[in-house]
């Protein structure tokens, strides 16, 4: 008899559920590598002249403070829908809002965690909003973003395959 998975479904999501903290070192290589990955050829983010970039692109927050929906689920005794053994599925992206407070620089250590800040129903669809907060080694908030997913579709709507 296999152990029953406890899926992180809308009914068991609670505001305040959180992931463990994660630390990421911001290096010149990380800044340049991220800029290259998103096809930003601005020399300000390059190592080509031998100088370390003065700061990271604002969107680097998604690289150094990634959304960890699966970690939030696991930290609270559940399995995220997309990691379930039976009938796994994604909780599709609905919207994202980012706020920046200070630049990320090479040499910074960014500590981040995610936590559920809202869950609501609109037109029968059920949404969950996760906030990811990122602070530097001085405890200064460098940024945060709210990421909303559709956890359940309204009756009669088909879940995407």
* Residue 53, in any domain of the structure: no
Question: Is 155 a residue whose pLDDT tops 90?
Answer: no
Residue 92 sits in a domain whose CATH number is: 3.10.129.10
* Residue 38, in any domain of the structure: no
Residue 48's pLDDT is what? 82
Question: Is 2 a residue whose pLDDT tops 50?
Answer: no
Per-residue pLDDT tens over the stretch 100-137: 999 999 999 999 999 999 999 999 999 999 999 999 99
pTM attached to this predicted model:
0.89
Q: How far is CA 68 from CA 12, 41, 114, 122, in A?
A: 17, 28, 7, 24
Percentage of the chain beyond pLDDT 90 is 79
Per-residue pLDDT tens over the stretch 23-69: 999 999 999 999 999 999 988 898 887 888 889 999 999 999 999 99
* Residue 55, in any domain of the structure: no
Range of the domain at 108: 10-25+64-152
First to last CA, the chain: 29
* Residue 161, in any domain of the structure: no
Q: Give me the number of domains the chain comprises.
A: 1
156 confidence band (pLDDT: 50, 70, 90): low
* Residue 147, in any domain of the structure: yes
Residue 25's pLDDT is what? 97
* Residue 46, in any domain of the structure: no
* Residue 119, in any domain of the structure: yes
Question: Is 160 a residue whose pLDDT tops 60?
Answer: no
3-state secondary structure the chain: CCCCCCECCHHHCCCCCECCCEEEECCHHHHHHHHHHCCCCCHHHCCCCCCCCCCCCHHHHHHHCCCCHHHHHHHCCCECHHHCCCCCCCCCEEEEEEEECCCCCCCCEEEEEEEEEEEEEECCEEEEEEEEEEECCCCCEEEEEEEEEEEECCCCCCCCC
Mean of all residue pLDDT scores within the chain: 92
Question: Is 3 a residue whose pLDDT tops 70?
Answer: no
Residue 50's pLDDT is what? 80
* Residue 49, in any domain of the structure: no
- pLDDT average, residue stretch 70-93: 93
Comparison of pLDDT for 133 and 92, the residue scoring more: 133
């Amino acid at each position: 008899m296999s152990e029953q998975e406890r899926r992180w479904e809308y009914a068991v999501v609670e505001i305040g559920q959180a992931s463990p903290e994660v630390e990421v070192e911001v290096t010149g290589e990380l800044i340049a590598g991220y800029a290259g990955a998103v096809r930003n050829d601005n020399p300000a983010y390059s190592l080509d002249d031998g100088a370390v970039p003065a700061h990271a692109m604002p969107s680097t927050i998604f690289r150094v403070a990634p959304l960890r929906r699966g970690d939030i689920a696991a930290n609270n005794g559940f399995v995220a829908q997309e990691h379930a053994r039976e009938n796994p599925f994604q909780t599709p992206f609905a919207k994202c809002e980012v706020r920046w407070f200070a630049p990320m620089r090479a040499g910074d250590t960014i500590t981040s965690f995610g936590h559920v800040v809202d869950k609501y129903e609109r037109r029968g669809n059920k949404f969950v909003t996760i906030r990811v907060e990122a602070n530097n080694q001085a405890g200064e908030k460098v940024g945060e973003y709210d990421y909303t997913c559709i956890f359940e579709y309204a009756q009669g709507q088909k879940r995407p395959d």
